[in-house]
Amino acid sequence: MNDSKISVRYSRALFLSALEKKILDKVNQDMIFILEICKIAETKEFLLSPIIIPSKKQAIFHNILGDNVEKITLSLIDLIVKNGRESFIPAIARNFIHETKKYKGITESVLTTAVKVDYKIKKQIIDLISGVFKTQVELKETIDPEIIGGFILRIDDNYIDGSLKNKLRKIKKELKGSILTSK
Instruction: Return the CATH number at 158.
Output: 3.40.30
Strands 106-113 and 158-161: unpaired
Considering the domain architecture, whether residues 22 and 75 belong to the same structural domain is answered as: yes
Total of domains in the chain: 2
Whether residue 14 sits in one domain with residue 83: yes
The phi and psi torsions of 17 (rounded to 5 degrees) equal -65, -45
Of all residues in the chain, the percent with pLDDT exceeding 90 is 49
116 versus 2: the higher-pLDDT residue is: 116
Average pLDDT, the chain: 89
Please state the length of the chain. Answer: 183
Say if CB 109 and CB 122 are below 8 A apart: no
Considering the domain architecture, whether residues 96 and 111 belong to the same structural domain is answered as: no
* Rounded CA separation 144/148 (Å): 8
Same domain, 22 and 82: yes
* 2 confidence band (pLDDT: 50, 70, 90): low
Provide the CATH number for the domain around residue 96. 1.10.520.20
Give the predicted TM-score (pTM) of the model.
0.76
Domain check: are 135 and 74 in the same one? no
Query: Each residue of 56-113: pLDDT tens digit?
Result: 989 988 898 878 899 999 999 999 999 999 999 999 999 999 999 999 999 889 999 9
Q: 90 and 27: one domain?
A: yes
What confidence score (pLDDT) does residue 32 get? 94
Domain that holds residue 160: 107-182
Q: In what order do the strands lie in the sheet with 106-113?
A: 136-143, 106-113, 151-155, 158-161
